[in-house]
């Protein structure tokens, strides 16, 4: 997502920079490919940038915010910082405090949709007193939607949306894994094709490509659970979803990258691997 957003902003006429200290060869290669310039250190990035977009896995959002806050304090800059990650309103509030206390200007954001360059532009939902700055990023490949002055609103809509989409994928994994373990995969597949054809189509088209993303979604499910619990809705569904993605992340397919992954892997091959992980975990426990 981050690299495609950078590419789209570059096409929009903006100079896009980043800090590649400690990043992988893959990330460096993607940055070069999309025309994102390495500014060197985080302090140099903070000093050069007008606006920082934090787009990474939810588990690392707070850690990056702490590093940026330290850079803001060291440089004395008041750079805008938009956290665009799948985090709870509570986590967004904590990041808001970090950035503001360090002298920066915080924007609560979240991204819904596929990376730029697909058929439909991703929607950047933004909120907070400085959120109007993000509207300048809107273009052919990025849709920016302002939803209020309150920090947490942009994060909350992502929690609700991903609670459905990624929560549903976790449910698919759970049902199909149980059927595989019970020796009923063929029979259940036939019934799904007969009475739940659209659901089966989504399973077959989406689940084989998800193991590589599963480890990143564990923390996202935990953030959703915390968001729901804070407003009195049971967190148990998405804590369970986190457990499902933890298991999926242990399959051999999870070690691939989006570029190297097998685009022709079948649903049946995927579920066999997930079920084998369940058997291994059960034997260990």
Q: Most distant CA pair in the chain: distance in Å?
A: 64
Q: Taking the alpha carbons of 154, 156, 160, 162 in that order, is the dihedral positive or negative?
A: positive
- For the chain, what percent of residues have pLDDT higher than 70? 96
pLDDT tens across 200-217, in order?
Answer: 999 999 999 999 999 999
pLDDT tens across 152-194, in order?
Answer: 999 999 999 999 999 999 999 999 999 999 999 999 999 999 9
pLDDT at 284 over 60: no
pLDDT tens across 59-93, in order?
Answer: 999 999 999 999 999 999 999 999 999 999 999 99
pTM summary value: 0.92
The answer to whether the beta carbons of residues 122 and 112 sit under 8 Å apart is yes
| Alpha-carbon distances of 75 from 40, 69, 214, 249, rounded to whole Å | 15, 10, 37, 39
| Antiparallel, parallel or unpaired: β 105-112 and 123-127 | antiparallel
Phi, psi of 78 (to 5 degrees): -120, 40
In the structure encoding, which two tokens stand for residue 229, read together?
């619990």
Nearest to 238, CA basis, from 247, 228, 230, 248: 228
For the beta carbon of residue 48, count every other beta carbon within 10 angstroms.
14
């Amino acid at each position: 997502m981050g690299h495609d957003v950078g590419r789209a902003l570059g096409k929009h006429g903006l100079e896009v920079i980043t800090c590649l200290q400690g990043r992988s060869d893959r990330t460096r290669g993607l940055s070069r490919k999309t025309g994102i310039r390495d500014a060197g250190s985080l302090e140099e990035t903070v000093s050069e940038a007008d606006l920082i977009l934090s787009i990474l896995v939810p588990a690392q959002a707070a850690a990056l915010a702490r590093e940026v806050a330290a850079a803001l304090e060291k440089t004395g800059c008041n750079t805008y910082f938009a956290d665009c990650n799948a985090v709870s309103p509570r986590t967004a509030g904590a990041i808001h405090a970090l950035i503001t206390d360090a002298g920066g200007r915080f924007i609560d954001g979240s991204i819904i949709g596929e990376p730029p360059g697909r058929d439909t532009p991703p929607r950047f939902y933004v909120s907070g007193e400085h959120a109007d700055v993000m509207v300048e990023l809107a273009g052919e490949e990025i849709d920016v939607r302002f939803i209020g002055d309150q920090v947490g609103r942009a994060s909350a809509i992502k929690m609700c949306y991903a609670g459905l989409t990624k929560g549903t994928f976790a449910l698919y994994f759970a049902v199909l894994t149980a059927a595989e373990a019970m020796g009923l995969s063929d029979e259940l597949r036939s019934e799904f094709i007969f009475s739940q054809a659209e659901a089966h189509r989504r399973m077959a088209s989406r689940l084989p490509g998800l193991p590589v993303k599963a480890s990143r979604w564990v923390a996202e499910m935990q953030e959703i659970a915390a968001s729901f619990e804070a407003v009195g809705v049971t967190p148990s569904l998405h804590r369970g979803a986190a457990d499902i993605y933890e298991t999926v992340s242990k399959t051999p397919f999870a070690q691939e990258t989006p570029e190297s992954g097998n685009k022709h892997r079948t649903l049946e091959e995927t579920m066999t691997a997930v079920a084998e992980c369940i058997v291994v975990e059960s034997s260990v426990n």
